[in-house]
Chain A
């Protein structure tokens, strides 16, 4: 097993959130908000989608060296299981579910004569004799079979789980939220199984310029999106919170220094900073070539540095908002009452200020998460984003951009990255909304 830098950080992050979750579950007064989250349909379903994305991202974060044959490529668990998707590449573009290439070429017919036309794909639809006539019905029947197999699997699993839950936790089966969640689980697993099953015979989302499966690219990009969203936030958050609250609470020279830092940082174009730091990393890597001997290690390093520099440039907005809110809060009478009670300033910051700015933090983290995923796409466009060999939605969009002018248009790369990005960002937004509602005691009463 090989642990890349971002892998290690992801493991730490997962461990930390598990610990935090455990800690939260044990505190008695967190029970009510947690109950509220678990009762919210939107919240639970978006959490489910998020977990699904995270699961794929985690599978993609367990790397090892493939020892099969003579290749010594570093691959992840996801790559290992999606081997057919990874290896079955065509010559160039092909449309979703198509059995033909998307561009004409010189074909050599059986009788030796040459003809200008669309050639058959090497892998997709290769089992068909006559794709024009059989294609449609074959796709539908394969989809049904795939869905059916997935459904049987998930129903089996659910029945087992239900019989276990039936006696102890009736509400996990009977409440309306639980029913909705079970239904979405069923749909999600069956549909994914169907897609995987279909991918054995077709390119469900077509292929790109070099013939790589777009569905595979989109799935691989999930990890990149999550890494950029979460690691950058983790870097940005402590800075924004510590500096913002300190500036607002202590005022005076502390405020002046922090304001000076972030105005300065803000006035440098962030693209410049990012470009410079990416260049630095590349120079460093080429000077220490022996430490970065494989492609994946190099691109991983670049991804990590991108997160770092994005984090350093993006904390200023949140910091400013937190400073303003703290300025307001420090005049609140409960802060003054705490001062009158002789509570130490550090304790006041943590106990009175921090919890009351958390809603701002939560909202802007989610918004930032979405905008970071999108920023990655923009940066990849000017070639200072992730490494061109890294799978990312940005790179996919960037690749598809050039083909938008083509007639007939190549739309599937764009659509795939859009759908996946949209799904991730929407799920994150909806879930954060539920969490914010549940943890605000003033809203607890109103209920839904």
Chain B
């Protein structure tokens, strides 16, 4: 089993003058799982694409050699390369929605690959598609075969992608962040599937991921990539015991750990800041000529909870459970259907428009996507000062600038940031700007809507530390919406688990994460990839 399947030596990729992959060498052995780990921008996807010759034409690729089964890939003509791609090497991308053609049924899309690589009759082909769908454990394959991608769930789409990659019976399957856009329970299923298929077929799996915890459950060998270079390659077990390179150690240290919730010093009980009772957001489903309301989508369906001053309540749930709708509903970005929101003892729905505008200053929101949450045509100083301008028009511009400067200092950004545009910053820095914008109006509560899920682990840890620091200094409460239980353990005092628009379980973070009552909470916890210690 220990033959080299893929041998990459001295690979370099450059766009114009920018070297993105810098002289890297690695091997993938037959039947093993090789994981290439690194943060975004480290060049791991580029490496995979360059092996498959899928890079745009402005990329310059050079290497001493890339051998697949001792055949040099550089010597193969472009025409014959189709026999490598899809046949010898399969590829699974991150986003299953955009990798599937929306106007072809999944059966056709799988059959397309078979048609290219095998000379099957029509009946044989249909049978092969059917077998593949069974292999990737799609329920009711005979029905699914004629469905379109939009009719499938995210996890099922990724299964179809895997089926397409497997169709050519490859020796090597490259999985480029295969589960990043999926929920944690689905992620566990997909990883399980990949493992079992690997055992069945004996193919090698080259896993590309940013998630060390996930990799630790899967990989036989690990290579860590940083800024285009492989800084450490080792057997997985060895790596997690004694990582050598400082960057690997940093990555491991940055991993949020589920154990950090244990023995958390809970603050002395304080006054209730936010009390939500029977909160509902329903979207009407309209049908027919007169747009009659026939039914409702119950996005949030009767949620009640309390939040103490200076504490953090984490709202946990998978995508589509209504947690973001709840967050936006609380600050009136989405109209609520029913329920009362008592903030500092004041009923929010009893306020008139002008009062509400002022009250809004006390509840702020930080969004998930740091790229779309700032107006690209405004300077950072104007973005931060926007709230001050609208809610305190009496503050003159000199004082305003002073406040912006002190806010930048609080979120640990250089003062020169003020006169730059948002696109000049990295994801983590942008999230800091968003936090500064929220802080500008001195809120008592910040709703954090997945503020770290678009960030790399090391950046994520920094943002969480910043949020914690600000909470200690200013006594702000957080309503922390997330799908990531490890982050919850880091930051939350209390947890509420949401499932299909309702809170199924809530309580102290330690209790929920260690002795969950509800079955769904247990499923969630089991699905989280953890480091094997």
Q: Which of A332, A340, A445 contacts B372 (CB 8 A)?
A: A332
Q: Is the CB of B360 within 8 A of A333?
A: no
The segment from A11-19, A106-114, A348-356, A400-408 found at the interface with B is A348-356
CB-based nearest A residue for B373: A333
| Minimum C-beta distance from A441 to chain B (A) | 4
Which residues does chain B contribute within 8 Å of A343, judged by CB atoms? Answer: 386-387, 390
B441 at the interface (CB under 8 A from A): yes
Q: Is the CB of A338 within 8 A of B386?
A: yes
Supposing A29-B379, A333-B367, A341-B361 touch, asked if A442 and B372 sit within 8 A by C-beta, the answer is no
Q: Which of A347, A441, A445 contacts B377 (CB 8 A)?
A: A441
User: For window 319-365 of chain B, which residues contact chain A by CB distance below 8 Å?
Assistant: 328, 331, 333, 357-358, 360-361, 363-365
Per the bound structure, the CA–CA distance linking A28 and B360 in Å amounts to: 32
Per the bound structure, the CA–CA distance linking A412 and B438 in Å amounts to: 67
Which residues does chain B contribute within 8 Å of A340, judged by CB atoms? Answer: 331, 333, 360, 363-365
Q: Which of A342, A344, A351, A445 contacts B387 (CB 8 A)?
A: A342
Which residues does chain A contribute within 8 Å of B360, judged by CB atoms? Answer: 340-342
B481 at the interface (CB under 8 A from A): no
B514 at the interface (CB under 8 A from A): no
A383 at the interface (CB under 8 A from B): no
Q: Is the CB of A442 within 8 A of B423?
A: yes
| Minimum C-beta distance from B410 to chain A (A) | 17
User: For window 115-161 of chain B, which residues contact chain A by CB distance below 8 Å?
Assistant: none
Per the bound structure, the CA–CA distance linking A338 and B378 in Å amounts to: 13
Q: Is the CB of B358 within 8 A of A333?
A: no
Per the bound structure, the CA–CA distance linking A351 and B383 in Å amounts to: 10
Supposing A336-B333, A336-B367, A445-B423 touch, asked if A341 and B437 sit within 8 A by C-beta, the answer is yes
Interface residue count on the A side (C-beta < 8 Å):
23
Per the bound structure, the CA–CA distance linking A393 and B423 in Å amounts to: 45
| Minimum C-beta distance from A380 to chain B (A) | 41
CB-based nearest A residue for B447: A340
Q: Is the CB of B328 within 8 A of A336?
A: yes
B199 at the interface (CB under 8 A from A): no
Per the bound structure, the CA–CA distance linking A351 and B386 in Å amounts to: 10
Q: Is the CB of B390 within 8 A of A334?
A: no
Q: Is the CB of B423 within 8 A of A341?
A: no
| Minimum C-beta distance from A30 to chain B (A) | 11
B284 at the interface (CB under 8 A from A): no
CB-based nearest B residue for A337: B373
Per the bound structure, the CA–CA distance linking A342 and B434 in Å amounts to: 16
Tier of interface size on chain B: 35 or more
Q: Is the CB of B387 within 8 A of A333?
A: no
Supposing A337-B434, A441-B421 touch, asked if A342 and B357 sit within 8 A by C-beta, the answer is yes
Q: Which of A337, A342, A347 contacts B365 (CB 8 A)?
A: A337
Per the bound structure, the CA–CA distance linking A341 and B437 in Å amounts to: 9
Which residues does chain B contribute within 8 Å of A342, judged by CB atoms? Answer: 357-358, 360-361, 387, 390-391, 441
CB-based nearest A residue for B370: A333
CB-based nearest A residue for B383: A334
A115 at the interface (CB under 8 A from B): no
Q: Is the CB of A29 within 8 A of B390?
A: no
| Minimum C-beta distance from B272 to chain A (A) | 22
Q: Which of B390, B391, B421 contacts A444 (CB 8 A)?
A: B421
| Minimum C-beta distance from B205 to chain A (A) | 37
Q: Is the CB of B387 within 8 A of A341?
A: yes
Q: Is the CB of B333 within 8 A of A339?
A: yes
Per the bound structure, the CA–CA distance linking A339 and B335 in Å amounts to: 13
B376 at the interface (CB under 8 A from A): yes
Per the bound structure, the CA–CA distance linking A266 and B369 in Å amounts to: 39
Contact with B along A427-447 (1 / 0, CB 8 A): 000000000000001101100
Which residues does chain A contribute within 8 Å of B383, judged by CB atoms? Answer: 334
Which residues does chain A contribute within 8 Å of B424, judged by CB atoms? Answer: 445
Q: Which of A333, A344, A351, A442 contacts B378 (CB 8 A)?
A: A351
CB-based nearest A residue for B364: A340
| Minimum C-beta distance from B195 to chain A (A) | 37
Interface on B for A, CB 8 Å cutoff? 328, 331, 333, 357-358, 360-361, 363-365, 367-369, 372-379, 383, 386-387, 390-391, 419, 421, 423-424, 434, 437-438, 440-441
Q: Known A-B contacts: A29-B419, A442-B423, A445-B424. Give 18 more (CB < 8 A).
A: A28-B419, A29-B379, A333-B367, A334-B374, A336-B333, A337-B438, A339-B333, A340-B333, A340-B360, A340-B364, A342-B360, A343-B386, A347-B390, A351-B375, A356-B375, A441-B423, A442-B376, A445-B423
Could you show 20 A-B contacts with beta carbons less than 8 Å apart? A28-B419, A332-B373, A334-B372, A334-B375, A336-B328, A337-B365, A337-B367, A337-B434, A338-B386, A340-B365, A341-B360, A341-B387, A341-B440, A342-B387, A351-B378, A355-B375, A356-B375, A441-B376, A441-B421, A442-B376
A-B pairs with lowest CB-CB distance, top 5: A341-B387, A333-B373, A342-B357, A333-B367, A355-B377
